Amino acid sequence: MSIGVWVLGDQLWTGQTALQSCKDNPKQTHVFFIESLHHAQQLPYHLQKLVLVWSAMRHFAEELKQEGWIVSYTQSIDFQTPLIKWIEQYGITELRVMAPADRPFMRLIQSLNLPCSVTFTPNNRFIWQDQEFVDWARSRKRLLMEDFYREGRQRFNVLMDGKHPLGGRWNFDRDNRKPPKGKLTLPEALWFEPDQITQDVIDWVKQSPNLKDSQAYWQIEPFQWGVTRTQALQVLDFFIKTRLSNFGPYQDAMVTGEQTLWHAMLSPYLNIGLLHPLEVVQAAEQAYYANRDTWELNSVEGFVRQIIGWREYMHGIYVYMGEDYPDRNWFNHTQPLPDFYWTGETKMNCLHHVLTQVKATGYAHHIQRLMVLNNFALIAGISPQELQDWFHTAFIDGYDWVMQANVIGMGQYADGGMMASKPYAASANYINTMSDYCKHCTYNPRSRTGETACPFNFMYWDFLARHYDKLKHNPRMTQIYRNLERISAEELQLIRAEAEQWRTEHRQTEYPLPSTPAPHGSPDATPQSVP
């Protein structure tokens, strides 16, 4: 009996279960990496995402070789043909694969006609196991993230004082919403220069006619992301030493020209397996205990909540919801995604700034994603499915399991409130409060109508009016609808006319996404040979 292990492009960690199942015999175990160009072309992925995954795969393959594993690395248009050749060449009788995090890729593997048995080992890239979340969810009437977060804190003994939360409170969120007023002294980010392996990937991507669509949308250089576990650990250590103590207060702030602020920049490494979420949480917790005389708890708690709370919750929701979840559209929004999501060319400075940043780096922090990109799409009535595919395409940390819950559930309220207690809809007032974007904008954040009226304003009030019947009984919307009722009938008519005119002008798009998305989370690919 000969066992082979297929390592996928988001499982780049020696602790992953398929490799661990063979750890006693690495010199007798064949390990397979494959890059399939077909899957890299299903969506016009951000060039920096392609470089990150491909380079990280190549570096990890070399690490395994150095540790004595028998590694085969191949490139092909598809998966099945080279996989079968490898299986037959080495007489593989059992192929072990750590279960993919994304359903479409699991289905793809199951559909392959392979000449050996296939064993899926459990996916251990998350803190909660899949069945643990399902069991928790089935015991609840509502799947509130705050309840899940508290359960996780207790279950894994994170920032706990016996049975009670450290500091006497579970959540310090109200301490973590400071707007960026005055002159802020911002920390540097830790970036890396590409080594030869990474540079080879960059050069190929830049020249490849197969990636023509992606080349038209995204910027590939400077590429500054880490591509190895060693570099990912350096980013984690750098964040803890230079940013974590001040992370909390301004974690929701947005500042013109600042891409990272105090954010950790760890999600790309977590999402391809270079870091494990529990080790990240434990490192932050240990740093707090070592510095508790000078550090405020709200910063560490706020960061821990993003990992053990929000990230784990997003994955759990993905596991728990049915196959139809990504197709949900509670508001029946069908407006096409505007071209400026691809080009960044819009007079709305907040959107221009965030979209330009995404084009350059593949990254934006959580409030830029939720309260600028998602918020505008929601109030403008943009198709949640088109937006989800764009998020998956545009972000360096985007995968199917990440984007379904974040966009369909949280950002677009397309599940009708299964995750969120109310839609995350806001006018320009929120952006004007939490950023300096409005200071440099053509539009007036206080105007609801007229030539200088901010589209966030007339879209927001139009959104509330359009969906009055669906939202009026939501107790968290009571005060909001009282404010809507104070607007005169004449002004509301003008607001709605301007909103409809905007939608009419943006119904044609030059950048349609494919109607059948790729299996998200697949080990993205290039046909270039590897040294």
Closest CA to 456 of 485, 497, 482, 428: 428
* 74 touches 35 (CB < 8 A): yes
- Provide φ and ψ at 507, rounded to 5°: -80, -20
At residue 171, the pLDDT reads: 93
**Cα 391 to Cα 408: distance, rounded to the nearest angstrom:** 11
Closest CA to 6 of 33, 29, 44, 45: 33
Q: Residue 515 above 80 pLDDT? A: no
How sure is the predictor about 41, in pLDDT bands with cuts at 50, 70 and 90?
A: confident
Domain ranges of the chain: 3-121, 130-192+227-320, 325-505
At residue 181, the pLDDT reads: 86
- In the block, tokens 């593949």 appear at 362
In terms of CATH architecture, what is 3-121? 3-Layer(aba) Sandwich (3.40)
pLDDT single digits (tens) 270-288: 999 999 999 999 999 999 9
At residue 514, the pLDDT reads: 59
Expressed in percent and rounded to 5, the helix, strand and coil fractions of the chain are: 50, 5, 40
- 478 token code pair: 């009571």
Q: Residue 207 above 70 pLDDT? A: yes
What percentage of residues in the chain have a pLDDT greater than 70?
96
Question: Hey, what CATH topology would domain 130-192+227-320 get?
Answer: 1.25.40
At residue 288, the pLDDT reads: 97
Domain 325-505, CATH: 1.10.579.10
CB atoms within 10 A of CB 138: 8
**Cα 72 to Cα 392: distance, rounded to the nearest angstrom:** 29
State the average pLDDT for the chain. Answer: 93
Q: Residue 505 above 50 pLDDT? A: yes
pLDDT single digits (tens) 398-449: 999 999 999 999 999 999 998 889 999 999 999 999 999 999 999 999 999 9
Task: Answer yes or no: pTM beyond 0.75.
Answer: yes
At residue 523, the pLDDT reads: 36
477-486 average pLDDT score:
95
Q: Residue 527 above 50 pLDDT? A: no
